[in-house]
Structure 1
């Protein structure tokens, strides 16, 4: 399944909740609190144990982006999503709640998109956490619509709108990353701030309403689910390791430095192609500093030789057609270059060393630099 299909699965959580209202109007309050407690633990683990560690090393000024996500969610929720108690008209109440939940759903979609951009584990954890609390939220908005004289059809229409807000949020996250080449660090930290706000203001209060100590266990079970997803997420990865293997691409790149013992991996349908920008600058002391700026791609040295996951792996660095190094991160120090015009190229590779290919072309970038004298 693609990321978009998984996003619709998350959005269907609202539909399931709305449908349950039509089937049975009264549900156990304790049961709903369990749902909220588990999703709270899971989303906290996603934000603090997944998004923050991943994004902290890949983005400049990490605390700023976490705070930006938190404040953005706060401003939108306070400015557009609050029901004014002084207005007692039923229709206004319903639409006020719908607006607030729509903004809430949009930012959840942003977090979902950022999670899948970076890591299947993160994406699947965010997905499950959202489903767990979208079901009771779907029940809430459908019940509110039907209790104020609305029909079941109207209630289902409202939950469908919330689902669309989630999908739009995911699309926004992916589009923003692709258009302005910000990589994955900033979206992850921004989304972590969003999830911290959502769990802190929407979910924790519901958990704290429980007088039973069992709520502690349910929250911790959500954290445990996050850990288990790290073990099993490769089974549900969006087209992970199922990318179409192509031989045509190798024919179009017959240079000696492009020879690989494994066939290239073509970009799976529905997945974004990683983008690469290579920069080579002289070092103040000696040699050259190489920076590989990527989006829709994550360096995973800990996964080398393991199962391929689309969008992760390492890179190969070439100088004048000769392989210079394998890169496990975005920065590399090139000790020296001979005088004259030199071509430096970088290509992205999967965990199993297969070159990434999109539209028949290997994914990479190259620069040509003029070396006036040998730098030692």
Structure 2
């Protein structure tokens, strides 16, 4: 039980540390032009696409059949569409004071929900990794922490510029990372029992992130600045994501 607790605490620490650092950076960055915001969102979309293509899907395919992966991806997409609809309705009724910045604020909230979902299977991976060896678990935890930093920025920037207070921004950023600790707890328990469950969780996260990239980040980025900057940000994020997934 002590080992499970240790794994959970390590997952919680690494899961919240990266996103919190990114959230703080997103808050203190003073340059708030549409071009800059577009770059940040497109950078995040490229990073997430790399994680989907070179991390989540390959890892899931290595331990499950293609049918289970497609099922998980579809459930992830459908779940995020549902979350998007709920958030949109809530904003339409209760967030009128943010009328001019609704799209940015909604994007930030949707990204935070998606990343919270995405962080759960990451936690599963950390927990399972620690079950295999301390070296593997620690390596996964550090890699996840590093790529959570720009994800924290991608959450904080649209929230802050959408009118949300700094305290609430940090709260949501930290909250999205807590699920890593929860995932690490379950990963430590089921890591050696059911690889299929982990594969479905990874593909679910891939589907959720795919919707975030296609339905939120890229459209909002192009809306803010319809120039080369968004394309450049997307490509830079994608390339950095390739390196991050190989750490």
TM-score by length of 2: 0.70
Moved more, 172-181 or 69-78: 172-181
Give the structure with the higher percent strand: 1
Partner of 1:135: 153
Pick from 203, 215, 219 the counterpart of residue 217 of structure 2.
203
Confirm whether residue 224 of structure 1 aligns to residue 239 of structure 2: yes
CA distance in 1, matches of 2:159, 2:231: 27
Determine if contact 2:46/2:236 at 8 Å carries over to the other structure.
yes
Partner of 2:37: 32
Determine if contact 2:44/2:151 at 8 Å carries over to the other structure.
yes
Partner of 2:133: none
Q: Deviations over 1:111-136 (max 9, x none)?
A: 54255456778766655554324325
Structure-2 change in CA distance of 1:34 and 1:141 (3 Å): closer
Pick from 169, 173, 190 the counterpart of residue 204 of structure 2.
190
Moved more, 97-106 or 169-178: 97-106
What pairs up with 1:145-294 in 2 under 5 angstroms?
Answer: 145=163, 155-179=165-189, 181-183=193-195, 184-209=198-223, 210-230=225-245, 233=247
Higher relative contact order (CA 8 A, sep 6+): 2
CA distance in 2, matches of 1:38, 1:135: 10
Cα deviation for residue 51 of structure 1 reads: 1.0
Give the structure with the higher percent helix: 2
Structure-2 change in CA distance of 1:35 and 1:87 (3 Å): closer
Q: Deviations over 1:277-310 (max 9, x none)?
A: xxxxxxxxxxxxxxxxxxxxxxxxxxxxxxxxxx
Larger Rg: 1
Determine if contact 2:18/2:147 at 8 Å carries over to the other structure.
no
Confirm whether residue 41 of structure 1 aligns to residue 43 of structure 2: no
Q: Deviations over 1:42-89 (max 9, x none)?
A: 110110222111102312422111112222222233235644435564
Determine if contact 1:38/1:221 at 8 Å carries over to the other structure.
yes
- Structure 1 portions without partners, runs of 5+: 147-154, 234-376
Moved more, 103-112 or 38-47: 103-112
CA distance in 2, matches of 1:197, 1:68: 11
TM-score by length of 1: 0.49
Partner of 1:361: none
Determine if contact 1:142/1:158 at 8 Å carries over to the other structure.
no
Q: How many residues align?
A: 219
Confirm whether residue 59 of structure 1 aligns to residue 64 of structure 2: yes
Structure-2 change in CA distance of 1:40 and 1:142 (3 Å): closer
Corresponding residue SS for 1:85: helix
Partner of 2:5: none
Q: Deviations over 1:192-237 (max 9, x none)?
A: 1121121112211134344323533332222221232355x2xxxx
Determine if contact 1:41/1:222 at 8 Å carries over to the other structure.
yes
What pairs up with 1:357-372 in 2 under 5 angstroms?
Answer: none
CA distance in 2, matches of 1:207, 1:89: 22
Determine if contact 1:111/1:192 at 8 Å carries over to the other structure.
no
Structure-2 change in CA distance of 1:186 and 1:109 (3 Å): same
